Structure 1
Amino acid sequence: MRYAICFTPPMGDPLSAAAASWLGRSVYSGEAVELPSIAGLAVSEMAFYTAVPRRFGFHAMIMAPFRLRPDMDEAQLLKAMMLFTSGETPFQIDRLEVARLSQCWGLMPEVPSQSMHLLAARVLQALDRFRAPLSEDDIERADPDRLTAPQFTNLHRWGDPHVMDEYRFHMPLTGPLN
């Protein structure tokens, strides 16, 4: 089994309802939601462009999917997460905007959030001890030849190229687009 640490807005939050409508699926119930009607965009096109984020549900990745080390179990991970979160102070990201990150569109802070960046780093530092080392296949899937030097280092140290200084909070709204 694989685990990941993500942010998802609360079930009753208007952002959750808007995202469910856009993606065609509720992240909480898993049930299909009718896609909105958008002039010039067929429902089939919208379903195609949103297929990847719909599959995974509306979220922002904080710690990428990982397998537990053999000497760790889910109960230990959950206990560590509860202990970690009990020491955290809530904060707010003031404004999100639709922006492009690589080949995808998503919601990102209008102004980079230092609080979010630091939280993502703390999560990684606190919970990385639960992550099993990457296999050679895992490393190859990350396509290390396309990574920058810091991303390559992050992949080998943290199991994900897009952490620490390379981290960008984003909530995907589309899959890869040309």
Structure 2
Amino acid sequence: MSKPRYAVYYAPAADSALWRFGSATLGYDALTGEDLPFAVPPGCDPALWPAFTEEPRRYGFHATLKAPFELADGRSEEQLRAFARNHAAGLDAVELAGLSVTALGSFVALTPSEPSEALQRFAFSTVQAFELFRAPLSETDKARRLRSPLTPAQHAYLEAYGYPYVGDAFRFHMTLTGSLPGDQATPVKQALETAYAAALPAGPVRIDRFALFRQDDRTGRFRLLDSYSFG
């Protein structure tokens, strides 16, 4: 059996409209571990929506900060949780101008409406801070990452941090769909824009917490283990 994996994600507060919107879109609440009735965006086919959201449903609604990792030898979950709590206590919130529904290649996600250097710095510092808990990538996991075309910088990040999309290669995004058929990408994005605008008021978003997620084995879904407010 594979070992548990952990990840450091941004996940909104469980009582927030953003968490409810994302979780209902994916049909899964990572806090409770329960399936939810799908909030199918207007104009989309309810019969297709479970397949459109199957991949991100495995991970729960989130934005990746530190990608999934197994614990390094000598490290325990209790130590990880204590470190996360202490680390969060020393952080300040990052203010974003807002979030926008965006097509990223063949999938749709929420991304910052405006660039934020503070967000980029926070994300990379999180990757670095939790590095002492990460076990080295297995050869299988490394080979899987290398199947995607990587720049020299991304290859160096993979070697250093076990994930290629960090530092200046990082793009904050909260995934709402998996890879979509070509004829569905544009209408699904437009439908999600409408649904997001109806569910949440336009305006700033505060990144004021991060969460630890846990996956018991590679076949299972991620669950929200703990959430840590900053300061």
CA contact (8 A) 1:144 1:152 kept: no
Corresponding residue of 2:31: 28
Aligned partners of 1:107, 1:162: CA distance in 2, in Å?
17
Shift of 1:158: 0.7
Q: CA deviation at 1:49?
A: 0.7
Unaligned runs of 5+ in 2: 183-231
Letter paired with 2:67: A
Deviations along 1:36-82, one digit per CA (max 9) or x if unpaired, are 35454221211111111122110011000011111211122222212
Could you say which structure has the greater relative contact order, defined with CA pairs below 8 angstroms and 6 or more residues apart? 2
Aligned CA distance change for structure 1 residues 38 and 63 (closer, same or farther; 3 Å):
closer
**Is the contact made by 1:50 and 1:173 (CA closer than 8 Å) also made in structure 2?**
yes
Matched, 1:150 2:153: yes
1:122 to 104, 122, 125: 125
**What is the TM-score with the length of structure 1 in the denominator?**
0.92
Alignment partner, residue 76 of structure 1: 79
Q: TM-score, normalised by structure 2?
A: 0.72
Compare 163-172 and 84-93 and name the one that shifted more: 84-93
One-letter amino acid of the counterpart of residue 164, structure 1: G
Paired letter, 1:138: D
Q: Deviations over 1:128-157 (max 9, x none)?
A: 011111121111010256111111111011
1:99, 1:108 within 8 Å by CA — same for their partners in 2?
Answer: yes
TM-fit CA distance, 1:17: 1.5
Comparing both structures, which one devotes a greater share of its residues to strand? 2
Aligned length in residues: 178
Matched residue, 1:12: 15
Q: Report the secondary structure of 1:43's partner residue.
A: coil
For residues 91-130 of structure 1, the aligned pairs below 5 Å read 91-130=94-133
Q: Distance in 2 between matches of 1:67 and 1:37?
A: 34
1:36-75 alignment to 2 at 5 Å? 36-75=39-78
Work out the CA distance in 2 between the residues paired with 1:95 and 1:156.
33
Letter in 1 for 2:80: L
1:25 CA drift (Å): 2.1
* Maintained 8 Å contact 2:25/2:40: no
Identity of aligned residues (%): 34
Alpha-carbon distance between aligned partners in 1 of 2:115 and 2:62, rounded to the nearest angstrom: 17
Gaps of 5+ in 1: none
- Does the 8 Å contact 1:52/1:175 carry over to 2? yes
Counterpart contact for 1:49–1:175, Cα < 8 Å:
yes
Letter in 1 for 2:119: M
For the residue of structure 2 that corresponds to 1:142, the secondary structure is helix
Q: What's 2:93 paired with?
A: 90
Q: Which moved more, 1:19-28 or 1:99-108?
A: 19-28
Q: Secondary structure at the match of 1:56?
A: coil
Higher share of residues assigned helix: 1
Counterpart CA distance in 2 for 1:82 and 1:99 is 32
Q: How many Å separate the matches in 1 of 2:170 and 2:141?
A: 19
